[in-house]
Chain A
Amino acid sequence: MIEVKDVYFTYTSGVEALKGVSVTIRNGEFVAVMGQNGAGKTTLVKQFNGLLKPTKGEVLVDRVSTRDVSVARLARKVGFVFQNPDHQLFSETVEEEIAFALRNFGFEEAAVKRRITWALNLLGLTEYRKTSPFMLSGGERKRVALASVLAWNPKVVILDEPTIGQDHQQKEKLRQFIVQMNAQGKTVVIVTHDVEFVAECNPRVMLMNEGKIIADGEAKKILTDTEIVAQASIVPPQITQIFLGLADFGLPTDLIDVSEARKALVDYLEERAQP
């Protein structure tokens, strides 16, 4: 779906944000891009929908170079939800906010209405349909921004820090929602610092540091590698930290999820209880 071929990117300010990144994201994958502030995460994902074009190298989306297609055309395929919802929201009501892109993409008015209702319901925003986005809390505004992108049903959804300001329940909904989108064949890319959220989702994790990808693989494998994680300025999940403190009992140290932790401990104690 997305092929990044030896991409370098330098901002006009002279900051070299990407220094030779090559990566392939297959159709229907769920990827979390993680790493230190300023590592180049947002710069990388902005290449995926053509908001930024490589200084050197090439990005292919559905086998077409992002240089050969307009951002507007790409946006239909690759939806981007910004980190800060205030960079995205501008309408008088939540409903108008969602309607804006749909009308721009030429959806009929009946379809616009239907999709608004669907997206509001999905993100638990139905009661705010006629409310101004700026009356809402930070977490709610974030959901409005997400709803407005999901409404046009892009094949790839990029979420820049989707869990900021979201409470636990909303995160759980978001997680289920991503799983569901994935099951429908959508490709989901998130940029996040939220280690516990990633531990619950278990996606493919790409760690970035100083404009390069320094690790790429299953969350369970990457997040429990204390050395590599420290290089990316990340703290391992709380469950991993607990089990690192219990390593001398011969318990596994590659656990990230609370349910697997429970099972490992119960199994260990049961086994020991046997004569």
Chain B
Amino acid sequence: MAIIETKNLTYTYPGGSKPSIQDVSIAIERGEFVVLTGPSGCGKTTLCRCFNGLIPHFYSGKLEGDLTVADLKIANHPIHEIARHVGLVFQNPENQLFALSAEKDVAFGLENLGMPRDEIRKRVDWALQMTGIEELRERAPHELSGGQQQRVAIACVLAMQPDVMVLDEPTSFLDPMGAQKIFEVINELNQKLGITVILVEHRLDLASKYADHVIIMDEGKVILDGEPREVFKSQTARLIGVGIPKATRLWQMLMEDGIRLKKTPVNSEEAAKLLREVLKA
């Protein structure tokens, strides 16, 4: 049973001359780790705003088609109800954080749900620990670096323990090891708690190794949707300028030279393993 399902979803922002997303029909299964990518301005962020009900409840405009999230028809349920199921981590953490300390920011959503104090404390500690920012709990978000703010933003959503976490480029301000650490945290949440993850990301070299479903959008439409290997293999991905992982690009180039690997690598470990077989032969 899909946790998110859209049918011909089309949305135009108020005053917009053309739809930002058009005829989007996708199904995301419970527990999947989805990477959503595509050129800048392709409609990724707009689609994410539909998943948690910001569209149509906060942004007016014109929404057509169907969207069901955790068995709720988004159009018929208010944002606070949808928020229990879908947490959104924004692209720019400054748009999300506002409290006087990281701890208070993380507690805010839980307080709004009317959760008991002890449970709030437990969840906050856990979320801060999972994201590796326990020592920042007393600090005000504006005193933190961009990367630290991103971690606080993730902790806020994490503390709500939603069914689905939608993360819009959550590591863009982080150094590569910091980014990898966050991806591993997200991966762990996905594997251990079964949280469905939808990750919007351009840097596929870093993100694709965790994905089991990749969706590529272009000009508001979904143009590729499937298993990562199949999606990255497609020439279409390259043609619209999606930066497929270097390991997959190398595989494509070698094929032009008549060097064939057993399957399509999507990360460096796989590529090294497959290349070893060819070099040994």
Contact = CB atoms under 8 A, between A and B. Distances in A.
Contacts of B205: 196, 237-238
A266 B178 contact: no
Contacts of B109: none
B275 A37 contact: no
Residue with the highest number of chain B CB atoms closer than 10 Å, among A86, A139, A170, A268: A139
Contacts of B146: 37, 83-84
Nearest to A172: B241
B1 interface: no
Contacts of B177: 36, 230, 233-235
The B interface is mostly helix, strand or loop, or mixed, namely: helix
Contacts of B242: 167-168
B113 interface: no
Interface stretch (B38-46, B74-82, B114-122): B38-46
Interface stretch (B28-36, B219-227, B248-256): B248-256
A86 B243 contact: no
Contact of B91 (A165, A238, A269): A165
Interface residues of B, number: 51
A224 B6 CA distance: 44
Nearest to B267: A238
Nearest to B151: A37
B145 interface: yes
Interface residues of A, number: 52
Given A35-B175, A172-B241, A265-B254, A245 B202 contact: no
Interface stretch (B96-104, B166-174, B189-197): B166-174
A37 B243 contact: no
A176 to B, nearest CB: 13
A238 B254 contact: no
A266 B257 contact: yes
Interface in B229-281: 241-243, 245-247, 249-250, 253-254, 257, 259, 267-269, 271-273, 275-276, 278-279
A56 to B, nearest CB: 23
Contact of A166 (B202, B245, B269): B202
Contact of A167 (B202, B206, B272): B202
Given A167-B39, A168-B202, A246 B176 contact: no
A241 B172 CA distance: 21
A138 B246 CA distance: 25
A233 B179 CA distance: 10
A135 B173 CA distance: 22
B250 A165 contact: no
B84 interface: no
Interface in A238-269: 238-239, 241-246, 249, 251, 258-259, 261-262, 265-266, 268-269
B243 A171 contact: yes
14 contacts: A35-B175, A37-B147, A164-B172, A168-B202, A172-B241, A233-B175, A233-B176, A234-B175, A242-B246, A242-B268, A245-B268, A258-B246, A259-B253, A266-B254
List the 7 closest pairs (A to B, CB-CB), nearest first: A245-B272, A168-B243, A169-B241, A139-B40, A241-B268, A37-B147, A238-B246
